[in-house]
Amino acid sequence: MNAQDEGSAEDTGTGHDAFGEEQREALRHAIRLEWFTLAWMSGTVVLVALVAGQSQAMQAAWAEDMLSLLPPIAFLVATRRIRRKPDRLHPYGHHRSIGVAHLVAATALLAMGGYLAYDSVVTLVSVERPPIGLTVLFGQGLWAGWLMVAVMVVTSTGPVGLGLKKLALAEQLHDKVLYADADMNKADWTTAVATITGVLGVGLGLWWADAVAALLVSVSILRDGVKNLRSSIGGLTDAEARTYDDSAPHPLIHEVEDAAAQETWVAEASARVRDQGHVFHAEVFVVPRPGAEPSAVQLAALRDRLHALDWKMHDVVVAPVPELPHRQTFRSTLRT
């Protein structure tokens, strides 16, 4: 076995193996929240469908509620799949299931948002006036718009609370599917406000208010779709590892480089880190000092130290090289 082989010998294991007890408890909590979300949103879909009538804003809200089922389902499927062990066809394990789930949810959001936006624009151009008439409730005549408003108020409260809880877990687990779901849930009140405004606008005689509200909802869906599609494609095409909310490069990249550069026999170090889902795969290139010839034991010791930096550092390869690979020099850490 040569030195480079020794640096990459550790089995990648399953996605679940990477978790410490704290992360496993967070994952259990997230799974419970997602099942509760599915139950709540299923009830919401039924209620909104019952009162939607011909209101385009309500139909757009119903479509968004239907789409809100996708991220929890994708998350639950992915968390089952990452428990599988690596095999000959999947030597890196099944961590990428999280990225695939993210892509599926993002594509659905983008497609539905585009359709709803198109439908809303056509309605405005063709000057279609939505009929919101009377309905009978407990033997009394009632403007159907009031039922729509009541349903939107009641059904929008749960997702906001769920979203805030999931947000903290998404950061703890470095889970972008959970973050996308939390972001959608947390912003659910904006859909409710837009829908309520559109329905009340029709009641006041503003025929265009309903279609405008539907357009606003569709733009919200499109925004979520574009943001999540960009993030999911970046992860699946091995873009630089970023934070769970994609706001910045992940700080672990610099921590890995700094830790490697602190070795007495290392002159330069640079890391190539990709996001596998919950965990990272890091290729760490090290240039030995003149005269230094690192042994397999030294390389393995460095690999273990990098593993110990964070639970997300699940698969680490240490490669001694005479010079840093092309395009990695801009990330190098020089020892002084």
CATH number at residue 281: 3.30.70.1350
Asked which of 8-12, 130-134, 152-156, 257-261 is least confident by mean pLDDT, the reply is: 8-12
31-50: pLDDT as tens digits:
999 999 999 999 999 998 88
More confident residue, 113 or 161: 161
- Cα–Cα distance between 217 and 236 in angstroms, integer? 28
Do 213 and 106 lie in a common domain? yes
More confident residue, 138 or 231: 231
Burial tier of 232 (Cβ tally within 10 Å: 0-12, 13-18, 19+): buried
- Report how far apart, in Å, the C-alpha atoms of 137 and of each of 51, 64, 141, 142, 293 are: 12, 27, 6, 7, 84
- Cα–Cα distance between 172 and 182 in angstroms, integer? 13
Strand partners of residue 275: 280
Helix, strand, or coil here: 92? Answer: coil
Rounded average pLDDT over 47-66: 82
- Cα–Cα distance between 167 and 178 in angstroms, integer? 7
User: Which amino acid is it at 326?
Assistant: H
Place of tokens 């394990």: 93
Do 285 and 154 lie in a common domain? no
Structural domains in the chain (count): 2
pLDDT reported for residue 5: 39
Do 230 and 293 lie in a common domain? no
Burial tier of 1 (Cβ tally within 10 Å: 0-12, 13-18, 19+): exposed
Query: Model confidence at 304, in pLDDT bands (50, 70, 90)?
Result: very high
Other C-beta atoms lying within 10 Å of the C-beta of residue 32: 10
Write phi, then psi, for 86 (nearest 5 degrees): -60, 150
Do 131 and 32 lie in a common domain? yes
On whether residue 242 sits in a domain, the answer given is: no
Closest by alpha carbon to 44, among 237, 176, 175, 191?
191
Query: Model confidence at 112, in pLDDT bands (50, 70, 90)?
Result: confident
pLDDT reported for residue 6: 38
Domain coverage including residue 144: 3-236
Confidence (pTM): 0.79
pLDDT reported for residue 97: 86
Q: Report whether 240 contacts 249 (CB < 8 A).
A: yes
On whether residue 103 sits in a domain, the answer given is: yes
Place of tokens 């590892």: 241
Do 181 and 133 lie in a common domain? yes
On whether residue 330 sits in a domain, the answer given is: no
